[in-house]
A and B are shown apart, each in its own frame.
Chain A
Amino acid sequence: MKTVTIYSHIGGFLFFLSFLTGALTSCSGPGTDIIQQDREPHIQPDYSGITIPPNIAPLNFMVNENGKKYYAEIRSAKGQTLKIRSGKNVIHINESKWKKLLEGNRDGDLLIDIYSKSGGKWTRYKTIVNHIAPEPIDSYLVYRLFDQGYVVWKKMGIYQRCLENYRVSPVMTNDYSEGGCMNCHSFASNNSNTMMLHTRQKLPGTVILRKGTVKFVNTATALTKAPGTYPSWNPDGRHIAFSVNQILQVFLSVPEHTREAIDTLADIEVYDTELNKMITCASIASPDRLETFPGWSPDGKSLYFCSAPKLPPGRFNELKYDLLRIGFNPESGALGKVDTMVSASRYNMSISLPRVSPDGKNVLFCMAAYGSFPIWHPESDLYILNMENGKVSKPDINSDFSEGYHSWSSNGRWIVFSSKRNDGFTTEFCFSYFDKDGKAHKPFVLPQKNPLRQKTYLKSYNIPEFVTSEIKLKPKEIAKIIRTKPVSVTFEN
């Protein structure tokens, strides 16, 4: 039986009711006596001028224009025009009609005409023009959802959302781990059958799903400083690079910067899941440097990471991480020599979270004024390193607020990233089309069945990872395995 949230059922019913109410309260569409506005309507979320995947869920939205009735027409070159009437300022789009329209118009424009009725007169706004990309987005997005407290958390879970509709199901929730924390889910090449996640505090360890079996591992050894933290699966599906961090959290006082997470120790190790062995070398585990945020190249032969000279915690605002790369032989597990890809000093900024595109041509990363926790830096933005010419560019997808964790779709045409652009406090996901010329298009936020929800929504989404198919592992199965004694890894320096 499929695991679904109650929203799908109850929400669906309520939306059906509201749709019915809207349909009943409104008359037919606008006639010919219409006031023409020479501007686009204000809609929320901002779904205008964007490029969308042909398999994305309907982009329901609110119309922030005065009116008692609303009418929208969504059309493209081919197929039926979707006509939506609403007694409220919310436009709910029929899923199956939307799907047909998008599928039939790949690489075409999607036009949205919006009307509002106020004082007995209909107003028509300038047509919103979006584009339907030819390439689909991966069907599922895996993320963590929680209340982003300062020291307190309560409900937390890792969920998967089908991007083709609104279905959400839990991968693991802390109801199953005695309220403990969980984080850092990771997949090998967007494959939901090769994954891992950490459970923290209560029942701590790392759950690894690979080749159809699940194991529970304690990645901390007597020689390493802590258990594995930030992971990256090698595309070979055998090795996982971990950073091993000791993190200190400080609470700051200026309004624009409320807190900081500081690495007091950070090294990188590579875990061989077949031999249950952790390996490292001085180049990625130097005692006088902090190495963190590993990210593999698509051929699995290079490991990108961030590195900064170690400083006392009091000088945390001087920590600037460079982007480095080390060679790796997946056959022998041997680590090679280190190259500096981008020096932080070049920009006087600090680099974090390098992610290489599936074609290996671009590295997407964050840069902030300092430190290694971009989500708490409003100035943190996304940058792209073009591996062919070595140039670093800042795509036009950033906002005045923090842009943080990001990942690539399996076909390399879609980027998902977390951003605080909505309210500067909670994080939400934005998607951007990354075209063949290496240009990132205007991003759009994760579509929601009920766009009104965002008006009071305070939970934070983080660590978005694309996967091509649904994760079959159930919370109950993870709950069972984390109650077994974790297998300790061996360590080789």
Chain B
Amino acid sequence: MFQILKKHIEDPGKYLFTGMFFLAFFLYFALFNSYTLSYQEQIQLFRFSQDYFTEFLNRPGGMLSYLNSFIVQFFISPLAASLIITFSGFLGYLLSASLLRLHNVKEKIWPFLIALIILSLHSDYTYSFVNTLGYVSALGFTAFYISFGNNKLRYIAGSILIIPLILFSGFFAVLALLLWILHETANTKARYRFYIPAGYLIVAFLIPYIIWHQIFDIPLLNSISSPLLLPGNSISLYSLVLLFAFLPVILLLSVAIPYYKKVSGRTKAGRYVIIALRTAAVLIFVILILKFSYSPKNELIFKMDNKVQHKEWDEVTGLASKFKEPDRMVAHFTNLALYNSGKLGDELFRYNPADQSFLWLSYPEVRYPYFFGSDIFYQLGYINKAYAWAYDGMIGTGASPRLVKQLSLISLINGNLTLAGKYLEMLDQSLFYRKWSAMYLNYLANPDLISKDQEIVSKRNLAIHADFNGDTSIPDSILVHLLQNHPDNKMAYEYFLSTLLLEKNISDFTWYVNDLNKYGYNAIPVHFEEALLINMYYTRKNVIPEGHSIRQSTSARFDKFMNLYSSRKADNKLNEEFGNTYWYYFYFLNKKAQVR
């Protein structure tokens, strides 16, 4: 491995391609996948604490998982995340190149393809870095093992190394052992070359069986497979299998077919063919990655989530406009951004809501609804529900900074300082959230400060006093209760009116829109005007809230819409010109809704 590295350094020109390749690798993540990587950091909370550490020791390969969590905490910086993944890919490349060279496999494309598989896997948000770490550590252990040229020394080293290998890497030791065995079979002529690998295999099985299955009572399958984490995406699953199988297969082929040892670089034409084949292989891989692994949609969603977390509302709506198809997660983020920038009543229907379920997230339509969905209830002042979702999110995905922060705040809002202390202590044990928790830990020591915190006070002012059953699948019921508890809850009011519009419940909308004045509206939001015009069109009654009027421009547009609609000949034109209006939603979308 070091020889290859040395050559790279000594002869930079020769290895320009390698440099370019990994620069592109890095840029791919830094420019197109950084939010997907950052999401990994958001679903874990690494803590410098003895208890946290011992939790990892409780399972096979726990040290590797611990190291994984330690490294992933740095994914908080997209640049650092991209660098780490690039470095992992480079290590994968370097170690596999070194192993292949040792086995006299001269084909240079294989290590690049391994790096590309790693790149492909990290394009999927369901893929865990622990697998890459396990893979690289298996190659590292193997490189170290093979570095002992003397057979006896290597066998002694192997017999010693196998125990830390299995304890550290768990399942990933299997890959290392497979490579060790292949190495022994292919490259040595020692008398015991078949017995020694058999011994390794027996030890590899016995250690998890005895330590984890028998002593620690972990099921055998878990004892053997931990800490491998299978990705949720089937393409990634195949890619992971490919990653693990790749080197052993190549090494097997190198034994079975001496082609690789002979053909490479014999003639000039042969060399061109090889270069063409290499280029084609890389291109095919890149195309496959772009087609099957890279998801610009997920990257955009994670970017939206990131912007929501940072309250960059205009960025959120800007990103939302890139989605042409309705998406509940996108709608959830967009609605939050629209409300917070005072545009919910003006722009809700610009972002393609398909029906009333597009107001907020509810179980189980989306992956991790609790993780992403608790924010809305927190902002609405529905504290019990926010806590329940954040806590369930934490159970589902593990302790995560954002959820622990929210649980800390909610506990402070509820006046439960002991519980708040637990959450804050967790954050205090982290590297990047210590500062955030320090301020609130100070509150615990000086509780008078709590009543001076505007955020906490504003949420305390929205505390529920008249109880109700909060089934989140019926948003209008929840919002009515929130309004009954606190008629001044403007966010609940706007969300409630939005629900009525999405449900096409024009009569209730018309009734409740009369309260606009209580919330300090200077003008009627555009979608509200559009709904009122529909009502007036059918009832011929003036239902405009007192002290307000409908803009001339809205009335004129409505006339034009109705003319086109009545003529029944211009559906496409209607979509083009009025696709962003409530009228278009009302007449053409969500057909299942019962108009009231």
Contact = CB atoms under 8 A, between A and B. Distances in A.
Interface stretch (A68-76, A248-256, A343-351): A248-256
A4 B216 CA distance: 6
B54 interface: yes
B315 to A, nearest CB: 31
Interface stretch (B9-17, B152-160, B176-184, B383-391): B383-391
Interface string B464-475: 111111110000
B422 interface: yes
B429 A253 contact: no
B219 A258 contact: no
A199 to B, nearest CB: 15
Interface in A7-56: 7, 10-11, 14
A425 B395 contact: no
Interface in B52-79: 54, 57-58
Interface in A130-160: 147, 149-154
Interface in B359-399: 363, 370, 382-385, 387-389, 391-392, 395-396
Contact of B469 (A10, A252, A452): A252
Contact of B385 (A251, A450, A479): A251
Question: How large, as a class, is the contact surface on chain B?
Answer: 35 or more
Contact of B388 (A6, A7, A150, A423): A150
A20 B151 CA distance: 43
Contacts of A257: 467
A455 B425 contact: yes
Interface of chain B, main secondary structure:
helix
Given A1-B215, A474-B217, A423 B419 contact: yes
A3 B384 contact: no
A258 B384 contact: yes
A225 to B, nearest CB: 23
A254 B384 contact: yes
Question: How large, as a class, is the contact surface on chain A?
Answer: 35 or more
A156 to B, nearest CB: 10
A10 B419 contact: no
Given A6-B58, A152-B392, A423 B418 contact: yes
Contact of B470 (A3, A252, A458): A252
Interface of B: 47, 49-51, 54, 57-58, 214-219, 222, 363, 370, 382-385, 387-389, 391-392, 395-396, 414, 416, 418-419, 421-422, 425-426, 429, 463-471, 481
Contacts of B50: 14, 450, 452
A254 B467 contact: yes
A170 B213 CA distance: 12
Contacts of B418: 422-424
Contacts of A474: 217
Given A3-B217, A251-B471, A424 B416 contact: yes
B422 A176 contact: no
Contact of A253 (B414, B426, B468): B468
B464 A452 contact: no
Interface string A94-138: 000000000000000000000000000000000000000000000
Interface of chain A, main secondary structure:
loop
B469 A251 contact: yes
B406 to A, nearest CB: 14
B392 A258 contact: no
Given A175-B219, A423-B416, A7 B54 contact: yes
A456 interface: yes
B467 A252 contact: yes
A248 B196 CA distance: 60
B51 A450 contact: yes
A53 to B, nearest CB: 26
B368 to A, nearest CB: 10
A456 B51 contact: yes
A172 B425 CA distance: 31
Query: Considering residues B383, B391, B429, B468, which has the most beta carbons from chain A within 10 angstroms of its beta carbon?
Result: B391
A420 B465 CA distance: 22
A479 B463 CA distance: 46
19 contacts: A1-B214, A1-B215, A3-B216, A5-B58, A7-B54, A150-B391, A151-B363, A251-B385, A251-B388, A253-B385, A254-B466, A258-B384, A423-B418, A424-B418, A425-B416, A453-B51, A456-B425, A474-B217, A475-B217
B333 to A, nearest CB: 22
Nearest to A6: B58
Given A3-B215, A149-B392, A476-B217, A252 B384 contact: yes
B416 to A, nearest CB: 5
Contacts of A150: 388-389, 391-392
A169 interface: yes
A420 to B, nearest CB: 10
Interface in A256-287: 257-259
A176 B429 CA distance: 32
Nearest to A314: B469
Given A14-B50, A252-B467, A254-B384, A152 B217 contact: no
